[in-house]
Amino acid sequence: MEKVTVKFKKALFIPPASRLQFGYLYFYDLINGTVESKTIEVFASDVLSMTWGLDFYKQGSRDAEKILLQFAKNTIIEKFKEGTLNDHEEVVLLTSTQPAVCPYDPNSLVVSELEEFTIEPEKKPLFQEINDNKLAASIIETRDIINALFYSSHGEKLLLLDQERNLLDFFKSAKNEEAYFHRIASLGQTARNINASILRRLLNETDTTIGSVALLDKFLTSKGKQNKDITDILKHIGYIRKGYPIHGDNIKDVQVGYKYFKLKYPVVDFENTWTTLLNKYLLALNHLYEIFASIYSG
């Protein structure tokens, strides 16, 4: 893969229609000997727009455009390196996936028509990383087996997934801080995305304030199979996810999370830390599989 230049040309504001979200359609060229013209839309939900103070109608201001442009850039870089970049992409930013404080200062950013950057090729292409990554493959396979066992008795999956791309992150390395935090966001979202509604029905639990990990603990206890290793791993992965840039730097919980896994904080060795957390998540899944195998296959 050769390096390419990305040159943005202009942006058009897209007001809310059927969905309460605000955004821009960005036009850009991908230049590598030839020129490919592409587009990408980036939207922020109405709640996130208010949380970040994005004013899409302020006369003379292009701050919102410049901020959403950064997410367009990140998506283009990531998808180009994956080999999945389409002629048109769409990104939707929600409060559930973004930090409470906007991570970008518009005063330090340029407008769309001045934005130009180069994407350097990876030393190892993504398809090779996927072929070499047995850890990520084991995580996905074990999740599938757990869901199959649970589904056979209850008609629903236990381990849910909002975005298929989160699983793709498990195959990727974390060579720097930016990549690491992106991976942690995916792991935290995936690890704690447990089907709380089916667990509440099975437990006849009416208290809606009980979280998914606590519900899983209660469910395993009701089967005489409580295993604190499972729920503690999931809980502390959640603590680590609270770190920047997801929920602001919630130092106390973040430190507790890293301490539980015997990892240094602040993180310096991003790749080793990422691999350690994936192995711990797989350990929790393996324990859960063993329990479900004894419950549903015995």
Structure tokens at 111: 């407008």
Beta carbons within 10 angstroms of residue 268's beta carbon: 9
Structure tokens at 44: 């922020």
Kindly report, residue by residue over 21-67, the tens digit of the pLDDT.
Answer: 999 999 999 999 899 999 999 999 999 999 999 999 999 999 999 99
Q: Which H helix or E strand runs over 168?
A: helix 165-169
Q: What pLDDT sits at residue 195?
A: 96
Angle between helices 196-203 and 212-222 (to 10 degrees): 40
> Is residue 288 classed as helix, strand or coil in its secondary structure?
helix
Q: Confidence band (pLDDT; 50, 70, 90) for 298?
A: low
Q: Confidence band (pLDDT; 50, 70, 90) for 123?
A: low
Burial of 162 (0-12, 13-18, 19+ CB in 10 A): exposed
3-state secondary structure string across 87-147: CEEEEEECCCCCCCCCCCCHHHCCCHHHCEEEECCCCCCHHHHHHHCHHHHHHHHHHHHHH
Mean pLDDT of 137-153: 94
Structure tokens at 67: 């901020």
Task: Report the alpha-carbon distance of residue 185 to residue 106 in Å, rounded.
Answer: 24
Residue that has been written with the tokens 């199959």 in this structure: 148
Which amino acid, residue 136?
A
Beta carbons within 10 angstroms of residue 47's beta carbon: 13
Distance of CA 127 to the CA centre of its chain: 20
The yes-or-no verdict on residue 131 having pLDDT over 70 is no
